Every structure is written in structure tokens, then in C-alpha cells.
Structure 1
Amino acid sequence: MKSYTPEQIIEQLRQIEQEEQIKIIYACESGSRAWGFPSKDSDYDVRFIYVRQADWYLSIFEKRDVIERPISGMLDINGWDIRKALNLFRKSNPPLLEWLQSPIVYMEPYRVTEEIRRLSPLTFSPRSCMYHYLHMAKGNYRMYLQGDQVKIKKYFYVLRPVLACQWIERSGTMPPIAFETLVEALVPAGSELRAALEQLLIRKKAGDELDDEPRITLINDFLEEQIASYEQIARAMPASGEDRDQQLDALFRTALQEVW
């Protein structure tokens, strides 16, 4: 499978800027590479936020506010217009909040992204984010981890959102993006569960296939208990962050002025 250097990915992003007549204000890696458990065949999930020239926004018509490119090899690139991104940001959209703290940043040439990041704790909604992660955990558990034989690598795609729910419950903040950080913070050192998770991660990083194998009862029991618990806990979480609409409007205008 083809791999990509950061320079090659940036070159692709520059090409999109030219083709679409946009400016990318932020581009990062999302998905398993950012979470810290990529497979040998994991795609490069590149996500970006872009700004168009001011006249584009001065229209009575709704326009497409997403740019997507067909997956090529292992490269999956798409992005959101800044107005779409800021509207999702005010709703505490977890994928966007994850982008903003990705450990793999390809482009951040303007100050506006740091301004958005600075407002993140103020707009964060514990309830909506917990429901997002809970929904992800339930769906992946139901699809991949039922039965005596399960897709072992899919444990990560249930464990991470479950641990994210734990983080939100305990701290009321956006959880870290890295899986290992969540494990170290939330799973007691020396416990059987911690040992099982660390062994899974070692195998994943070593490039093991981690396909169908007997279910790991210890982990399944933990996940079922946690999912059932957070079904109840999520309802009692605070509903929303502070109203920052005026600041987000100002950020939008600032971005147009800074970029163009």
C-alpha cells in the first residue's frame, strides 16, 4: 500500500486550493492515525477548514460548503467551509473538536484557528459530546463485537469512545484524541483490564492483522457495563456551553480579512 509524506499531503492540499480558489486555514490528520492506532493499511484521513473570497458568501443562494475528493490509494481528503465549521463548532461538534487537537497538523498558516481553539472550552457541551461517543460505541459494539468470534481490531473503535465518555463524566472537558492518553488516565495501572488493553495496542502497532478471533470476555464485560451506565449518565450531563455567537461572527469576519 502507498504511504504519503507530509510534504506530499501538503502538495495535494495546495492543489485543491488552486482548483477551488480557496485558502485552507487548517489541515490535519483525523481517524486512527491521529488516535494512535493505525493499521498497516489505514487511510490517511486528511481533514481541512477553508475560506472562500468574501463575494462567495454574499449570495441569496445556498451553496455547497464541503469539498470532497475521491479516495485515491490510501489518501482520503475532504474539508468544510469555515461558516459550516463555525456553525458546527457552536454546537460542540466532536469530530471538529477532535480535528482542532489533532497531533498531526499539515497546515495552520493563519491565527484564526488558534482563536477558534481558544473558544473550545467555552462552547463545549458535555451532554451532546457524550451522546456522540456513546452512539459510536453502541453502534460499533453491536456491529463488530457480538458472538464468540469477533473482529479484534474493532475493540479500539468501541474502547476509545467509551473511555471518551469516562473522560467527559470526570472532567467535563473534551477528551484527548490519543487512545493511549485515555488508557493511562482512566484505566488503573496494574489491573487486568489495563494489561489486556496494552497487549492489544502492542499487537496493533506491530502490524498484526487482528481479524476474527475469540472474543475477549474481560473487555466485552467492561464495555457492556460501561455502555449501559452511560445510557443513564448522559441524560444528566450539562446540556450546552456558553453562548458565543457574537464572538463566532467576529471570528468569521476576522478570517475573511486575515486570509484575503
Structure 2
Amino acid sequence: MIYGTLELQQNILETAKGYADEYNLKLVYGVIVGSNSKGFEYADSDCDTRFLYVREDFPQKICVPWEMTEEELVKRFYPMQECLDECLPFWELTSFLHFLTKPSFNNVISSGLYNMVGWTFQSPYQWDPYGIRNKIMPLIDDIFIKEYEIMYHLREIERWYKKDDRKIIAKNYMYSVHAALTIDWCLQRNVQPPVYYKTLLGCCASEQIADEVDRLVKTAQQEAGNVIVKNHMQDRQKTHFTIMAEHSEVIDAYIERMYKKGTETVNSYKISPQMLLKCQKNVRKMCGILMEEIS
């Protein structure tokens, strides 16, 4: 299942397939990302999607992102429909999987690209007609590089977490604690973390932290709904900046503790070229397996 009502799911898939057919792309996987996948959506949240495709020359060609341009591999469609995100991104499957070992298009490492792969296969809302997730997750866990994932979530905390004022934008606070929970998961388990916040809470957080975070999310979501009904707001995502939350000493302490631990881990990170080469070979092998099953 993708996400939302049957009508919304059909709309998303029909729109994506229409674009893919026009450009001779074969869609093989689709997912909802954004706040919906984390469990932080408001009533006015848009629907962020991501699709994976294979090219016309599949299965003869495995694409490697640092040997090709982004324009060759990534397509972006703007459907201009209110119920969808402003952009539907389409990523070529085999190049996408290569970000697991070297998240880069032009030799500049991006922790965002690395996180994007894990997020794509761990979102609770997926369209997966070929069973790709179950095939790829064992490999993702086996070659997981926790430092890349932690690096991304450290940047998320730096982006969203502001302690200067008594109140903070509630969504920003949610994203900050989600990043802290993900860092905690990586340090404890050293496998790809889930996306849904309640799964992270159940596995990482103390009961006190879990209660505080649940209260933050439920209160913000209820208030957002009330604001939308009361003010008849039409602007997409306006409540993201409208709903505020008071700082919690428990949540603040947890975010700051995980940020410190994550920073220490990233600063001591080293990976051998031999291990990286082995991981890249395993990714290419998986691409070959998927080629046989999809073609």
C-alpha cells in the first residue's frame, strides 16, 4: 500500500505510471517519504513520493552514479495536482543502490544520498510489485555504514533544533528528536534504522522519553487540525510554521546527548578501501539478481 485513501493511492500510481510510460521507464518501486512516513503528518501535509525505475537498456546495463550525470539518472515530474507533492522524483534503480557504498554523483560524498536509500526501503508506505524491499534489506543491513547515517542526522539536528527561545516550532522539534532516536538506533544496533517514529521509540527510548515525544506529536497534530478548521487555511503546510511547542527538559537532554555521541562516532570513523570494494561488489551482485527477476 502506498498511503492514504484508495483514491489517493490510485491517483499517485496513475500519475507516476503515466509519466513513466511517456518516457519509456519501467517503474519497479514506489514509496511515500516526508513527514507522513515518520508519523509526523498534519492534516494539511502534502504527499512526498519517490519512485524507482529501470531504463530501456535494462537488464544489459548496470548504472553507476559517479560514472554518469544526475540528469541521466534522475527524472523529476511536476504534476501540479493539489493532493500530490509539487515534484514526483524518479531514480534509476541500479545507480540508486550504489549510494549504499559511495553516496556521490561527482566524488563528493553526500550523507543525504546515503540516508535517502535507507529511508526509501524503510518507509512504512510502499508500492513494491516485485518484492524488492525483502530482497534488498539483508544486503543493506550487512553493508550498513552507520557513520554515514549518523552524519546525516547530526546535520538534521543542527538544522532543526533551536534552544534559544522558550518555544520551538513543533515540527522542527519532532524532526530533531527523530534524528536523535535514529542516531541512538545506529549506535545500539548497527543496522539500517526504521523511519516510523513509534518504532524508534519502542526500541531506543526510555518510557519517560517515549511519553514526552508521544505527547508532543499528538498535541501538535490535534492543534494543527483545530487551526485548519478554525481559520479555513488553504496554504499547503502552513501549519508547519504555525504550531509551536514548549521545550521539554527530557527531550532536550536526549537530543543533546545523542548529538554528542553521534559526533564522537563520526569523528573517529575510518573505512578500509578493501571493505568498500567488497561492499561495491555485493551491490553489483544484487543489481544482477534484481535484473533477472524484474526483466
TM-score for the superposition, normalised by structure 1:
0.84
Whether 1:244 aligns to 2:244 is no
Shift of 1:238: 6.6
Residues 220 and 245 in structure 2, CA contact (< 8 A), matched pair in contact too: no
Structure 1 alignment gaps of length 5 or more: none
Structure 2 alignment gaps of length 5 or more: 104-113, 225-238
Whether 1:31 aligns to 2:34 is yes
Residues 147 and 265 in structure 2, CA contact (< 8 A), matched pair in contact too: no
Shift of 1:83: 3.0
Q: Once the two structures are superposed, what CA deviation does each residue of 1:24-74 show, in whole Å capped at 9, x if it has no partner?
A: 111011121111121111111111111011179599975521111225324
* Structure 2 CA distance for aligned equivalents of residues 58 and 41 of structure 1: 40
Residues 91 and 123 in structure 1, CA contact (< 8 A), matched pair in contact too: no
1:178-193 equivalences in 2 (<5 Å): 178-189=196-207, 191=208, 193=209
* Structure 1 CA distance for aligned equivalents of residues 21 and 165 of structure 2: 50
Classify the secondary structure of the residue corresponding to 2:10: helix
- The equivalent residue for 1:127 is 147
- The equivalent residue for 1:203 is 219
Moved more, 47-56 or 162-171: 47-56
1:83-162 equivalences in 2 (<5 Å): 83-91=94-102, 93-106=114-127, 108-142=128-162, 145-162=163-180
* Structure 2 CA distance for aligned equivalents of residues 132 and 58 of structure 1: 27
Q: Count matched residues.
A: 254
Residues 37 and 204 in structure 1, CA contact (< 8 A), matched pair in contact too: no
* Structure 2 CA distance for aligned equivalents of residues 258 and 197 of structure 1: 42
Shift of 1:154: 1.4
Classify the secondary structure of the residue corresponding to 1:90: coil
> Pick from 93, 97, 114: which aligns with 1:82?
93
- The equivalent residue for 2:75 is 67
* Structure 2 CA distance for aligned equivalents of residues 224 and 58 of structure 1: 42
* Structure 2 CA distance for aligned equivalents of residues 176 and 58 of structure 1: 28
* Structure 2 CA distance for aligned equivalents of residues 58 and 215 of structure 1: 48
* Structure 2 CA distance for aligned equivalents of residues 61 and 179 of structure 1: 35
Shift of 1:103: 1.1
Residue type of the alignment partner of 2:164: Q
Classify the secondary structure of the residue corresponding to 1:64: helix
* Structure 1 CA distance for aligned equivalents of residues 265 and 147 of structure 2: 9
Residues 142 and 191 in structure 2, CA contact (< 8 A), matched pair in contact too: no
- The equivalent residue for 1:219 is 251
Residue type of the alignment partner of 1:246: K
Q: Once the two structures are superposed, what CA deviation does each residue of 1:1-44 show, in whole Å capped at 9, x if it has no partner?
A: x9862122111121122112111111011121111121111111
Q: Once the two structures are superposed, what CA deviation does each residue of 1:200-237 show, in whole Å capped at 9, x if it has no partner?
A: 12223435356235444443343234323322233345
Moved more, 41-50 or 237-246: 237-246
Residues 123 and 194 in structure 2, CA contact (< 8 A), matched pair in contact too: no
* Structure 2 CA distance for aligned equivalents of residues 235 and 158 of structure 1: 20
RMSD (CA atoms): 3.0
Give the 3 Å change call, closer, same or farther, for CA 254–81 of structure 1 in structure 2. same
Classify the secondary structure of the residue corresponding to 1:24: strand
Shift of 1:254: 4.2
